[in-house]
Structure 1
Amino acid sequence: MDDDLRQIAARIRSWRDEAGLTLQQLGDRACVSASTIHKIENLQTVPTIAVLLKVTHGLNRRPSELLSEVDASRQVAVMRRDDLQTLSVDQRGAIQHLIGTIPGNKLDVCRVRIEPGVGAGMDGHEPWQFRGEMVLLIEEGRVRTDISGEIFELGPGDSIHFDPSIPHRWIATGERAAQAVTIAIAPEHMQGDLMNRITNPMGMGKRAIGDPCVDMPAGNALALRRPSGSRGGALGG
């Protein structure tokens, strides 16, 4: 059996034991059958990416933790280039976790690729909110960000740093896919919620995302940086 599958199975069982969850309890939280989780833990099936996303979300873990190289005694996590995993569903978008995680840490760095019209808090749906800190670094394409009604059009080389407890959206615009690096200090399940929003926007409804937000004024909660010599700025919301 492949070593990666053995590691995935061992970590899922270990995390479930740490959380004190039965197979059925985890299944209910992850919307996956208890028998499927049993088969994963006992190397009796090869789980799909969609199932692994659900299970890690049910355990309040990031998918990247399944294969990251962790030394708990030193609080160090090493992510090798060859171990980078890309999660992609329905050709709407993909997320690649760029760093490993250490116990208790809330930092995550990802590369996100989204098709035009796709993103977090898409038009017609509730904006995104979570307690933490967020940076978007645009690598390719165009991204429109809406921070509590203030609109910023971003292109390659632009970045935006903001307080994500403020209602916000960011969506790929233009005629081709956009690619961005996201740097976030956030609840552990935030990236799972992001993947759900990218791949299943119609199912998000009005569900609150992340920890309860702390009421904070929008002033001084956002910083925008553009490459030297670039034009453009905030547009009226």
Structure 2
Amino acid sequence: MKIKKIVGKKLKAIRLKSDMTIQELAESSRVSSNMISRIERGLTIPSVEILMKLANVFGKSINYFVEEVSTTHEIVHTAPGGRDTTVYEDERNMLTESFTSGLRDPQFMSFLCTIPKGGMSGEENMYHPGDELIYLLDGQLKVTIGRETYLLNAGDSLTFKSHLPHRWVNVGEDDARVIWTLSPFTTI
């Protein structure tokens, strides 16, 4: 089943189980009702930020929306080219490869992200429960956390509490390749 359909089906099911209308979910999550409708119909893949907002309303991790129970395991090995990938065609314009996709009830999420020159998290800050680790493999990434700005170069890492307002942008001339780890949102 395609990721768009999985996310949409699970979002609609948990919304109905919670006896919520699309409008009520929009108000609780601060995600537009139009976007929620498009996600539920499998017409779009939400950004990580939007998925986190929706997941938080239901006390779930974003993994809840993207994994099929029958495909989870206690040990997952993937070779290069075999990881689940997602392309975000918003201001991020980035490609993510999940290291934890398929792991049963993970307590963290980890991705290899490829962010093109100028790719960014958006003009607005993000914030959510948990901790984040950013390890820059290649390129340059400017990360702003609160009032502090950090310029990361290849080999640099940054760890912070995710409830702090944060945003990022690739300020380098080339793609930035980043290992991004988030832990935990909420145990499923």
CA offset at residue 137 of structure 1?
Answer: 0.9
Partner-residue secondary structure (3-state), 1:48: coil
**Which stretches in structure 1 are left out of the alignment for 5+ residues?**
41-45, 189-237
Identity rate, percent: 18
Equivalent AA in structure 2 for residue 49 of structure 1:
I
Partner of residue 170, structure 1: 168
Q: Write out per-residue CA displacement over residues 128-175 of structure 1, whole angstroms, 9 at most, x where no aligned residue.
A: 544422211112211233455555432223222233445554332222
Which residue of 156, 178, 183 maps to 1:185? 183
Which residue of 41, 44, 52 maps to 1:48? 44
Q: Check conservation: 1:70, 1:78, Cα contact below 8 A.
A: no
Partner of residue 120, structure 2: 119
Q: Write out per-residue CA displacement over residues 14-41 of structure 1, whole angstroms, 9 at most, x where no aligned residue.
A: 322443324553466542359947973x
- Rounded to whole Å, the distance in 2 between the matches of 1:139 and 1:79 is 21
Partner-residue secondary structure (3-state), 1:173: coil
Partner of residue 87, structure 1: 87
Q: 1:155 to 1:66 in 2, by over 3 A?
A: same
Q: Check conservation: 2:145, 2:167, Cα contact below 8 A.
A: yes
CA offset at residue 92 of structure 1?
Answer: 3.9
Partner of residue 157, structure 1: 155
Aligned residues: 176
Write the mapping of 1:1-237 to structure 2, written as runs, cut at 5 A.
Answer: 3-4=1-2, 7-8=6-7, 10-26=9-25, 30-33=31-34, 36=37, 40=41, 46-50=42-46, 57-60=53-56, 64-70=63-69, 76=74, 82=82, 84-90=84-90, 92-96=92-96, 98=98, 99-100=100-101, 107-120=108-121, 128-147=126-145, 151-166=149-164, 168-187=166-185
Q: Write out per-residue CA displacement over residues 149-204 of structure 1, whole angstroms, 9 at most, x where no aligned residue.
A: 5554322232222334455543322222312111112546xxxxxxxxxxxxxxxx
TM-score, normalising length: structure 1: 0.52
Q: Write out per-residue CA displacement over residues 112-140 of structure 1, whole angstroms, 9 at most, x where no aligned residue.
A: 33344443475xx5x55444222111122
- Rounded to whole Å, the distance in 1 between the matches of 2:46 and 2:16 is 22
Question: Which structure has the bigger radius of gyration?
Answer: 1
TM-score, normalising length: structure 2: 0.61
Q: 1:154 to 1:19 in 2, by over 3 A?
A: same
Q: Check conservation: 2:92, 2:121, Cα contact below 8 A.
A: no
Q: Check conservation: 2:95, 2:113, Cα contact below 8 A.
A: yes
Partner-residue secondary structure (3-state), 1:119: coil
**Which stretches in structure 2 are left out of the alignment for 5+ residues?**
none
